[in-house]
Amino acid sequence: MAGEPEVFGTKGSVGVVVIHEVFGRDDYVRSVGQQLAAAGFPTAVVDLYNGASAKTLDEAFALRGQLTESAVLETLEEGREAVARRLVPRARVGTLGFCMGGGYALLGACRRRFDFAVDFYGRIDQANDVDGLTGPVLCLLASEDARITPWAFAELLPAAMRTKKRVTLELYPGVQHAFHHPGQERYNAAAAADAWRRTLTFLEEQRAPVRSVK
C-alpha cells in the first residue's frame, strides 16, 4: 500500500529508517535502503508523502509544505516498528536521510528515542533540540552548501557542545548540496563514495555497546 514503509533485509542487529529527499520516495532512496540491507543493516524506507511524488521543485515544495512535524515523527515511528520486526532482540534502530530527509532524520533522533542518526546535508529549525539525542549523530556536509553547512558549524555544533552530545561533522570541500545523488548535476562520485564508506563504518560502530550520551 502506498505510504507504508518498504523494508529490506532481515536478522540484523542494527536497523535503519531511511528518509527520502524533497521529491519523494523514489528509486534512488530505495537503492540506498537496498545497499544498506546488503551490507547487513536492514532498512525501512518510509514515504512521507503517502504515495505522492514530485517532478519539479515547485511540486516538491508544495508536497513538503503539507507535512506536519507530528505526522513526520509518526511516520518515522512506523518505520522503526517495520524494521524492528526484521531485527534480532535488543537491536539498535536509527535514522538516515538526505536533504529534507536528513533534517527529519536528525529531528527524529532528537524527538524520539532512536539510537543514532546519519544526516546527509539536512538541518533542523532549532539546533538546541539536540539536547534530546540519546545516541551519536554523523552529519555529512558539502562546503558549497550555503544553507546547510554554515548552520551546522555555527549552530548545530555549538549546541552539541553545550549539551554534551556526540555529533560528528564531515565536510567535503569543493562539492555542492546533494553530492550523493547519482545522476544529479551536483553529484560528486569521490565525495559520495567517501561519505558512504564513513556511513557504513558509523553503522558498524553501532553494533557494539556504547555508553549513553544522555
Computed on alpha carbons and rounded to an integer, the radius of gyration of the chain in Å comes to: 16
**197 is a domain residue:** yes
**136 is a domain residue:** yes
Pairing of strands 117-120, 87-98: parallel
Domain that holds residue 33: 6-205
Q: What is the pTM of this model?
A: 0.94
Q: CATH number for the domain including 179?
A: 3.40.50.1820
Task: Copy the grid coordinates of residue 16.
Answer: 535503519
DSSP bridge partners of 53: none
Residue-by-residue pLDDT tens, the chain, 214 positions: 457 999 999 999 999 999 999 999 999 999 999 999 999 999 999 999 999 999 999 999 999 999 999 999 999 999 999 999 999 999 999 999 999 999 999 999 999 989 999 999 999 999 999 999 999 999 999 999 999 999 999 999 999 999 999 999 999 999 999 999 998 999 999 999 999 999 999 999 999 665 444 4
**213 is a domain residue:** no
**1 is a domain residue:** no
Residue 97 and residue 16: Cα distance in Å, rounded? 10
What are residue 97's phi and psi, to 5 degrees? -155, 170
DSSP bridge partners of 87: 12
Domain count, the chain: 1
Counted residue by residue, the chain has a size of: 214
**212 is a domain residue:** no
Residue 126 and residue 174: Cα distance in Å, rounded? 27
**211 is a domain residue:** no
Q: Where are the alpha helices (DSSP H) in the chain?
A: 27-38, 57-65, 69-84, 100-111, 149-151, 157-163, 189-205
**72 is a domain residue:** yes
**210 is a domain residue:** no
